[in-house]
Chain A
Amino acid sequence: MVRTLTYGALIFFSALFIAPFLWTLLTAVKSEAELVAWPPVFWPEEWRWSNFPESWAKQPFGTYLWNSTTVVVLSTIGQVFSSSLVAFGFARFRFPCRDPLFVLLLATMMIPWDVKMIPLYMEFNLLGWINTLKPLIIPAWFGEAFFIFLLRQYIMTVPMEIDEAARMDGANAWQLYWRIHLPLMVPGLVLVGTFHFMNAWNDYLGPLIFLNDQSKYTLPLGLGLFQGRYDIDNIAIAAITVILCLPPLVLFFFVQRYIMDNALGSSVKG
């Protein structure tokens, strides 16, 4: 009974979440005429799979893909590593100014980007980073408040006894982080990796502001170019969107079990 209800609810919500994606897919294989037809056509008469290669060929998407991949891979590694370090520092030590510093960390999440943009641009310009991928990669190696906060909360659910036991065995701070906490944090790290991956993969504004030359563009910028001032290429947007969704979806499908695979939940006594 409970099981049936759960299934029912799961299927209902899944349908809500999937339906719009299906519509994107349908749009991607429609013809131009079906798109402006009145009343709108829900189901395409003929599935034009050729829309995918044609849309891909409209811009140098191969170059964009390479740039996006570089940014996403390099920044995700940096984000996961640095955020876990900082989170561990805040969660497991007592030091002067810790709490004010943590509030400051939270506060950095609250600054609207509009006003940060120009000073940051100036700084990156001084460093010679404009029109390179560096502004999109290097800051990630210094941790981001959202992820640090998330991992800090995660670490704080781990009982102190674990640390004390490790200390008894002579572990120093680094070994405590590297050998004990990092493995326990895996679900949190996967979350951080997933979220950062998606942010970087879909980021439009950062690349728009910091990149100039089309050869440096990332995938979302290319996608954005289909939306002009007076015209919008809906089919190309839909087709490229579907293509853009696939790598993260496949990746997510394979890593999501690590979010569930929790050492604490099953083996450790609370």
Chain B
Amino acid sequence: MSDARRISSRRRPSLAPWLFISPWILGFFFFTLGPMVFSLIMSLHDWPVVGERKFVGLQNYQTMLTQDPMFWKSLGVTVKFAAIFVPLNIALSFLLAVLLNVKVRGTALFRTAFYLPCVISGVALVMIWKWIYSKDYGLLNYALSLLGTEGPNWLGDPNWSILAIIIASLWGLGGTMLILLAGLQSIPKELYEAARVSGVPAWAQTLFITIPMLSPMLLFTFITSLISAFQQLTIALLLTEGGPLKSTYFFAMYIYDNAFKFHDMGYAAAMSWVMFLIILTLSLAVLKYSAAWVHYEGEVKGGGNG
């Protein structure tokens, strides 16, 4: 690239953007960079919480990939969970957001109701779900018995437990729903009016107006759901402790066990980096292909502000 072109592409060099993003830059150096580097160093060591540390090179990574069946098992559980949870989470949130976007009386109450689960803290959440899923006395199987079917042993049957975790996780979709709702609200009403006048049917309005206009928020929920699915820990840890028979033993739980139960910090750090790379790769892939379907009204394509 010639000097002339480079100069022309930054014709108004400015400090302003850097000032705006400086809080995050500083925060990154204070609170993130150090721990990241530290954990990378840890991953190359046999690193007990206390006691002698020994440099072992890539051995932790090698053990993980070649000698540890639990690594693959927990990765499999996590991928299965993510593959089901992420699409369901977005689809249901979208459905609820669209429902709430219809002007009816009492939306404030409905919105609060949908958000309610997000307000309840972890300890209580688990108590509630244990009661719901209890085989003989749970609310869920009671409801199923009213419908004339016998419910499964949700948390006790390895074939059902992952589904039980997915349902419990979906219960907290209030946040995603609100994000999409806010996105729906920012779509100019004129677009729909124009479509209605030209006789465009409702489904086509959804497909050609709502979804493209909402795409920045859909991208956001897609990526953040993906990340949270891979980091899924709390619900499974408290509800099933990874069981029965490790059917809900998530990757993040295996990391947690290595760090806080087995005190094998080096191995936990190595696993964390593997997980980090997996999520990063997936997210980058999503971002790369998002250009094809995400539509930004206010994208800075040319010089922008500055």
Contact = CB atoms under 8 A, between A and B. Distances in A.
B104 A159 contact: no
Contacts of B164: none
Interface in B139-188: 139, 171, 174-175, 178-179, 181-183, 185-188
Contacts of A105: 24, 28
Nearest to B30: A142
A182 interface: no
B87 interface: no
B114 A13 contact: yes
Interface of B: 10, 14, 16-21, 23-24, 26-28, 30-32, 34-36, 38-39, 42, 49, 96, 99-100, 102, 104, 107-124, 127-129, 131-132, 137, 139, 171, 174-175, 178-179, 181-183, 185-191, 213, 216-217, 219-220, 223-224, 227, 230-231, 252, 255-256, 259-260, 265, 268-269, 272, 275-276, 279-280, 283-284, 287, 296-300, 302-306
A170 interface: no
8 contacts: A94-B17, A116-B35, A123-B31, A157-B297, A202-B122, A220-B122, A253-B108, A262-B185
Contact of A160 (B114, B124, B298): B298
B119 A252 contact: yes
A17 B114 contact: yes
B305 A92 contact: yes
Given A91-B298, A109-B224, A259-B181, A241 B124 contact: yes
Contacts of A96: 10
B121 A202 contact: yes
A91 B104 CA distance: 34
Interface string A114-134: 111011100100000000000
B280 A110 contact: yes
Interface string A78-110: 000010011011111111101001011111111
